[in-house]
Chain A
């Protein structure tokens, strides 16, 4: 490659950096990252995409690029592990691969799949059951779904049955019981820990906190988890109890609180979208908190449409055990009906056949950027 090629490339990169800085969007960041990848500067590309993930956490394009870059860095190791797993599998290898999927790539689904596969081959491995428990806990803390909580309890208990000295499994289980309000069960688990290690600071601290939480109401795990799912949050907020726990696992889900005024202002950004018939946002109670209807469409009709499909999609996602419904696109001769979940709110955009899906995506990202800014200024 000649000197002039080098100059041209450097100039192009500078232009793309400027673009990403002045007009931040998944596309401008994606273009910059793509150029850096082509130039084999994977480290810088990863920095760029990590910043893009921070700004546009819902962008699939950004997520996929991030995973690609992370995977490229880990490719050699993951390839070796995969090869060895095919011929000489061990629980440790399964765990290592799952760890890479979970912690490095953020791919909980693949991590869970790897561990499930491992457990089917090594059902007596406490570490694999602990691994599944951890993944299910991470999912639980993101979406607060009943099934994830139940599965976490099942696998953490299995890990403890296989190895009664498994400290991590005990503490995860104790914290989970406390979060769902199963105070007595939490105390039982902590007592077992303290029997083996009476000086354990974390267990002692948690035991003190447990004493401040009233023990009343249902004790059935399934019932308590149903309440958590309905609430979309824990019955006992550990952060309020000032308990130091492993932040990676017990990070609270961002519920995306949206100020109605911010939504009402920001939704006007859809007016310029070609083909738009109407855009609306429903809150967690199904009430329309913002709308923008340039064409002849009854706002109540749009609200009903958003509610109908969201309800069915949320239910379907739960039944298929694929987490929480995040977004949906319906296409037909009528045009497009696009839905996006933001915390417990749903944004819905109805557009005719003149609209382009890419423009709708851009408009949604613009809206999300505006709403975050407006909410911060509030």
Chain B
């Protein structure tokens, strides 16, 4: 899984990526300078929990992806089945191209998790 994240981090503008369970346990991480694993994990858990809570008001299906854009960066959360792939990136990334890579990485992580089980 670390190799998948390392390859993903080579994408232009990606600062770091982490695979985290719904309750914030880090499964794997490859984070750039300035990003702390525990902080990213806690933040991710909080966002995922808030989205689940919000969506439960209308359905219980959960969500597949959340793209968060801030003034100076982006975060992408992708459901990999048993966990979420969370990617922190520059604001200026070409979102279409990078999203393709992120989705691809998420699929490989999902496959890798299923094989382990």
| Chain A residues at the B interface, C-beta cutoff of 8 Å | 60, 64, 67, 107-110, 112, 139, 142-143, 277, 297, 301, 304-305, 308-309, 311-313, 315-317, 319-334, 337, 350
Chain B positions 4 through 45: 1 when the CB is less than 8 Å from some CB of chain A, otherwise 0? 000000000000000000000000000000110001101110
Partner of A108, one of B51, B67, B72: B72
* Cα–Cα distance between A351 and B94 once the two chains are bound (Å): 25
Q: For B92, list chain A residues within 8 Å (CB).
A: 64, 67, 107, 109-110
* Cα–Cα distance between A277 and B58 once the two chains are bound (Å): 10
Q: For A110, list chain B residues within 8 Å (CB).
A: 90, 92
| CB closest residue in chain B, given A323 | B71
Contact status A332-B55, CB under 8 Å: yes
Q: 7 pairs across A/B with beta carbons < 8 Å?
A: A312-B49, A316-B46, A316-B47, A322-B70, A323-B71, A328-B66, A332-B61
A139-B72, A334-B58 known; A109+B66 contact, CB < 8 A: no
| Majority DSSP secondary structure for residues of B touching A | mixed
B108 on the interface (CB 8 Å rule)? no
Known contacts A64-B94, A320-B43, then 17 further A-B pairs from the complex at CB < 8 Å, ordered by chain A residue: A60-B69, A109-B92, A139-B71, A143-B71, A309-B50, A309-B51, A309-B54, A316-B68, A317-B70, A317-B73, A320-B70, A320-B75, A322-B73, A328-B66, A328-B67, A333-B64, A334-B55
* Cα–Cα distance between A137 and B23 once the two chains are bound (Å): 36
Partner of B63, one of A311, A316, A319, A330: A330
* Cα–Cα distance between A60 and B67 once the two chains are bound (Å): 13
Number of A-B contacts (CB under 8 A): 128
Which B73-101 residues have a C-beta within 8 angstroms of A?
73-75, 88, 90-92, 94-95
Partner of B39, one of A64, A297, A319, A337: A319
- Interface size class on chain B is 35 or more
Interchain nearest-CB distance for B14 vs A (Å): 13
* Cα–Cα distance between A112 and B15 once the two chains are bound (Å): 14
Q: For B68, list chain A residues within 8 Å (CB).
A: 313, 316-317, 325, 327-328
Interchain nearest-CB distance for A149 vs B (Å): 15
A334-B59, A350-B58 known; A322+B72 contact, CB < 8 A: yes
Interchain nearest-CB distance for A141 vs B (Å): 12
Q: For B50, list chain A residues within 8 Å (CB).
A: 308-309, 311-313
Q: For A60, list chain B residues within 8 Å (CB).
A: 69, 95
Interchain nearest-CB distance for A228 vs B (Å): 16
Contact status A312-B90, CB under 8 Å: no
Q: For B58, list chain A residues within 8 Å (CB).
A: 277, 297, 301, 305, 334, 350
Interchain nearest-CB distance for B56 vs A (Å): 9
Contact status A312-B71, CB under 8 Å: no
Partner of B88, one of A142, A322, A350: A322
Contact status A337-B54, CB under 8 Å: yes
Q: For A329, list chain B residues within 8 Å (CB).
A: 65-67
Question: Taking each of A64, A67, A315, A332, which has the highest tally of chain B beta carbons within 10 Å of its own beta carbon?
Answer: A332
